[in-house]
Chain A
């Protein structure tokens, strides 16, 4: 049973370009979370999605960031017009049915570097 798959693992963008990060949850999981981790910082919640619905985007910056989890295909975190401050590791996590047992299964992350 494959775990949470994220790609690309590493992404380099110049300021002003777009970054697209993809996440395929574990098989059967319909809940997806995106977190951002900056150096020396913990994981910061960004967005919580279920299939075709954004449940909670309270951690997403209001501009340039968007996320989707379509009926078919992976969840996408999109960052438009990237700036140096967007450089971070972005982790996707999935769960079967919410957080009743607290278990989120994390991917290995996508590391974005903005030059």
Chain B
């Protein structure tokens, strides 16, 4: 079982739709949970991060973490064509004096005008 599973992909929605992106993970030691957005041929950029279980809102974006189920989600309200990108979930792993981010494979989202 991979450490981080990301589902679904690819996703195509009409403008204005609510988008739900999800990841599951297996490592209980994961702490911070993040969503990165990556436009085509660009580097990823941090969208949201959260530490605890619950919801965190930022404009049209809501990140949700359920540690008991090892499940995280990103919701995008009133989706726009400019939201078309690949969305990567990421989790911080601390081990043996090192820290790194472990990423999901990413979900490619297309928002059609």
Q: A56-B100, A101-B32 are in contact. List 6 more A-B contacts (CB 8 A).
A: A58-B98, A59-B100, A99-B32, A102-B33, A103-B46, A104-B46
Instruction: Report if B43 contacts A (CB, 8 A).
Output: yes
Smallest distance from the beta carbon of B65 to chain A beta carbons, Å? Answer: 12
Task: Report the count of interface residues on A (CB-CB < 8 A).
Answer: 26
How far is B35's CA from A34's CA once the two chains are assembled, in angstroms? 18
B interface residues (Cβ-Cβ under 8 A, vs A): 4, 6, 32-34, 41-46, 49, 88, 90, 92, 96-106
A interface residues (Cβ-Cβ under 8 A, vs B): 4, 33, 35, 40-45, 48, 55-56, 58-59, 91, 93, 98-99, 101-104, 106-109
How far is B99's CA from A49's CA once the two chains are assembled, in angstroms? 11
Q: Are B44 and A91 in contact (CB under 8 A)?
A: yes
- Residue in B49, B88, B92, B99 whose beta carbon sits within 8 Å of that of A43 in the complex: B88
8 intermolecular pairs with C-beta atoms under 8 Å apart: A4-B43, A41-B105, A102-B33, A102-B49, A103-B49, A104-B101, A107-B43, A108-B42
